[in-house]
């Protein structure tokens, strides 16, 4: 019972604070606030198309087919490049690591990414994914 009262109090207080903030600071820019709050965590706001891309990546079933077609590329990199499956399943999901992830696929051409998409059973948009990661990594590197 006490915990329910405490939760109710927290929710009510949060509502009052939010309403007061909106009344007293009507011109707050949410994007500026977001950027300021999360800059140290290396998180950036997404565009609508970037946001819509994320669920499409979760379709990956981890079949490894994309890696199989890139065996030579992986061997040539002396395993510095772990393949696109790892990229889709992990590297592309951690924005603070996008600069490292972008380096890992630096040598992949648009043609190779397009070919991988054709071979992927769930139609992962490799080219869009690479563009997304590269553009965010570029923003991290700019002052
Ligand atoms: S081929 Fe497609 S589904 Fe299979 S591991 Fe690669 S990205 Fe995932």
Residue closest via CA to ligand 1's atom 8 equals 60
Q: How many CA atoms lie within 13 A of 76 on its CB side?
A: 8
Q: How far is the CA of 41 from the centre of ligand 1 (A)?
A: 29
Contacts of 88 by beta carbon, 8 Å cutoff, 6+ apart: 57, 60, 66, 124, 126, 129
Instruction: Render pLDDT for 101-126 as a digit per residue (tens, 0 to 9).
Output: 888 777 789 999 999 999 999 999 99
Please, what is the average pLDDT of the chain?
Answer: 88
Instruction: Render pLDDT for 38-51 as a digit per residue (tens, 0 to 9).
Output: 988 989 999 999 99
Q: What is the pLDDT of residue 123?
A: 96
Residues 70, 124: Cα–Cα separation, whole Å: 16
Ligand 1 pocket check for 129: Cβ under 6 Å: no
SS3 120: coil
Q: Residue 100's closest CA among 57, 137, 125, 62?
A: 137
Q: How far is the CA of 22 from the centre of ligand 1 (A)?
A: 45
What pTM does this model have?
Answer: 0.75
Q: Residue 132's closest CA among 79, 95, 82?
A: 95
Q: Residue 135's closest CA among 45, 64, 73?
A: 45
Q: How far is the CA of 103 from the centre of ligand 1 (A)?
A: 20
Q: How far is the CA of 127 from the centre of ligand 1 (A)?
A: 13
9-23, 56-70, 79-93, 113-127: segment of lowest average pLDDT: 79-93
Residue 77 in contact with residue 108, Cβ under 8 Å? Answer: no
Residue 123 in contact with residue 59, Cβ under 8 Å? Answer: yes
Ligand 1 pocket check for 62: Cβ under 6 Å: yes
Ligand 1 pocket check for 57: Cβ under 6 Å: no
pLDDT at 35 over 70: yes
Ligand 1 pocket check for 120: Cβ under 6 Å: yes
Q: What is the pLDDT of residue 21?
A: 87
Residues 105, 129: Cα–Cα separation, whole Å: 11
């Amino acid at each position: 019972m006490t915990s329910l009262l405490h939760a109710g109090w927290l929710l009510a207080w949060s509502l009052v604070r939010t309403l007061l903030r909106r009344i007293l600071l009507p011109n707050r820019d949410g994007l500026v606030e977001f950027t300021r709050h999360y800059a140290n965590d290396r998180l950036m706001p997404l565009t609508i198309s970037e946001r819509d891309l994320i669920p499409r990546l979760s379709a990956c079933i981890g079949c490894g087919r994309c890696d199989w077609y890139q065996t030579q590329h992986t061997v040539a990199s002396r395993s510095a490049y772990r393949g696109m499956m790892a990229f889709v399943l992990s590297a592309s999901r951690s924005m603070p690591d996008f600069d490292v992830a972008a380096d890992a696929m630096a040598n992949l051409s648009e043609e190779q990414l397009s070919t991988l998409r054709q071979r992927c059973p769930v139609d992962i948009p490799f080219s869009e994914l690479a563009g997304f990661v590269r553009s965010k990594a570029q923003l991290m590197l700019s002052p």
